[in-house]
Structure 1
């Protein structure tokens, strides 16, 4: 995944980044909750052939410093903003998967009047405030169970085994990088802290909808599901349709994927991103 670098935040922490590709256009990949940047490898490598691309480990994962402050949406967006300022660019596309979706939406909204606004936004099976399942009692119970058990699972190695199953399609070097960055006790604690703010963050987005710049927006929504999550999948598909419509964007279904589209259909994500930074071919 190219060159590994450390970017310093204003409060003295560092964020571990993976940078590849060349040119004036930049794509920044924002991961889902609890996943280090290495799981973007299939997307990262496709994009790096055409543009400069950055993935990174959020605070507490891999070589990124832990953050002693609450890891709410504002704090996550502030770290992302540090990266956007660290890498000069002409045009900029933000890609957010899962909980990374609200993070990039907030970043785009806060740069409406910037001298270097966002050029495009791609939301990949993003957490979405229009899905009522996030606010159900079962979701709160799941959060409590995760908070109580995740650090212990990391300590005894079970978290590594679980993520290894999800990441089995990655090349070995990237699978090791993902496991090493995302399955430590520190990473588990970081995931628990982020997850503590998911439902309040989505509720705030529902109460105060974010504006987005007048730029292309693509919402990619997974289609596949198991018997136990069919209802949530239908909710997410509907919620993604609402978000796409509200922002004048495109809704694209990942027909072969469930939630982990960066691993199962990386070519779809790369195609949508490149369409935002490369001119359309002239008609014959």
Structure 2
């Protein structure tokens, strides 16, 4: 039994060391990777928005589930050669502070609307949504139609097939999940290794992406976003038409099964002025795996609505 007590003491000691080390590491990362844009108060918490380039319409990008604005580092400078472009971090992701509100598409859209207004960014906007971000921009275009000139859906998450099956309301964030507890003792940071296409980001952006993703805030927000995704999908599914709003659906060419292909084609029904493009050499994260395809689709939309 002595070995059991010694093992437990060692484990508790390591957890204590990790608990002390984690905020020190977070502070070091904050110094090493300051926000490239501005922090804007949207009602008791601040969101990060980074706008570059000049011209109209302004492109606004909403990242996918768990992704930060750093994931668009290949795309933003190229689009900025043609027009103004803003990337931002949803509450709790990247450099943004956490929100007390449920993580759903409508809440994201409302927060983004407030953020753009307080950052003095004026429409009309071309909204770009990747993966789960597609839900947000669809709801935004529905709720604020006079502000939106066009929509680009980049391999957007499939809509739920039934409202009933996804009617459970999203919980308010701020709970403590097992992954976030692991992050508080530094275990997520210790084990972190950028997965998949994130490895293909520029070095500084990859490190900034990882630095925010491994924090307790980032890990908990990832969990909260996942728990709110069903309700967000139901909110987007309720938008049956956007009229004649120009719409481009950019879909991946690799690893696409029949259900995913059908969901991508289904988005074309949102508008009478829609078209589908393909990133033939890319998987889901087109903005990293085939960024030129994402740039081309966005710039094409900008030129269409000018």
Count of residue correspondences: 257
Structure with max Cα Rg: 2
Where does residue 8 of structure 2 map in the other structure? Answer: none
Where does residue 155 of structure 2 map in the other structure? Answer: 125
Deviation per residue, 1:152-211 (Å, 9 max, x gap): 5644136973435431111111111211222211111111111111123223443x2343
CA distance in 2, matches of 1:87, 1:48: 18
Q: CA-atom RMSD, angstroms?
A: 2.6
Where does residue 292 of structure 2 map in the other structure? Answer: 267
Q: Does 1:151 align with 2:180?
A: yes
Q: Does 1:166 align with 2:197?
A: yes
Where does residue 194 of structure 1 map in the other structure? Answer: 225
- 1:197 partner SS: helix
Structure 2 counterparts to residues 202-217 of structure 1, below 5 A: 202-206=233-237, 208-217=238-247
Q: Does 1:71 align with 2:82?
A: no
CA distance in 2, matches of 1:23, 1:3: 20
Q: Is the 8 A contact 2:59 2:84 kept in 1?
A: yes
Cα offset, 1:278, TM superposition? 2.3
Cα offset, 1:247, TM superposition? 2.0
| Structure 2, unpaired ranges of 5+ | 1-34, 167-175
Where does residue 178 of structure 1 map in the other structure? Answer: 209
| Structure 1, unpaired ranges of 5+ | 137-146
Deviation per residue, 1:198-251 (Å, 9 max, x gap): 123223443x234325221011111212xxxx6xx3311111101113423111
CA distance in 2, matches of 1:267, 1:279: 18
Give TM-score, length-normalised by structure 2.
0.76
Which of residues 140, 143, 162 is equivalent to 1:110? 143
Cα offset, 1:121, TM superposition? 0.4
CA distance in 2, matches of 1:35, 1:96: 12
Give TM-score, length-normalised by structure 1.
0.81
